[in-house]
Amino acid sequence: MEQYFLPKRLDFKHLRFCLDNYTPDRLYIRLKGSSGGDVKVNESLEGRTLDFRKDSSGLYFLIDSKEVCHLPLKDYGYDKAKGFTLAYERFEQLESYEKMVMLGTGVDPYDPSLPEPRRSILRHGLDDHLVEIFFKGRVELEFHSWYIKPHWKYWTIAPPKK
């Protein structure tokens, strides 16, 4: 699945904007490198509210105002982290089954030849954890700036289309 890089300095602005403007349906947090093991949080958010707060002791994820995870943002150096990415989950309908579309970086997220995303995943490597927040459908993107021309761009989260 393709991923789009978001400027790190906008990390918490993007997180707030997504939670305020899109409906998350799952929060998944696990240790990096565990290939699905060592899961800290794997919660459906259907009918629930995801929020966060950040202070000098780190980042807190809250579901229905109850803390479910605290990341101190110090263990492996938040300053060295790359920032959020947004990934799209797309499926191609074949004759008798569906196949996930796997694309590299640098793809135009609005290429009309691609199937519409079923889910968008906001993800980040924070401390020694992989944090993924799943949203139904497409979280909109806008071009922000070049990271490395001609293929690597930075994007920002845009308001939902009406």
Q: Kindly report, residue by residue over 141-160, the tens digit of the pLDDT.
A: 999 998 877 778 899 999 99
pTM exceeds 0.85 = yes
Residue 116 lies in a domain: yes
Distance CA 134, CA 137 (A): 9
Residue 67 lies in a domain: yes
Residue 162 lies in a domain: no
Q: Kindly report, residue by residue over 68-123, the tens digit of the pLDDT.
A: 999 998 766 677 678 899 999 998 888 888 888 887 767 889 999 999 999 999 99
Residue 89 lies in a domain: yes
Confidence of residue 127 (pLDDT cuts 50, 70, 90): confident
Distance CA 31, CA 81 (A): 15
- pLDDT of 95: 83
Domain that holds residue 153: 3-157
Confidence of residue 33 (pLDDT cuts 50, 70, 90): confident
The long-range contacts involving 57-61, CB below 8 angstroms and separated by at least 24 positions, are 59/126, 61/27, 61/29, 61/131
Residue 12 lies in a domain: yes
Confidence of residue 17 (pLDDT cuts 50, 70, 90): very high
- pLDDT of 157: 97
- pLDDT higher at 76 or 6: 6
Number of domains in the chain: 1
Residue 29 lies in a domain: yes
- pLDDT of 76: 62
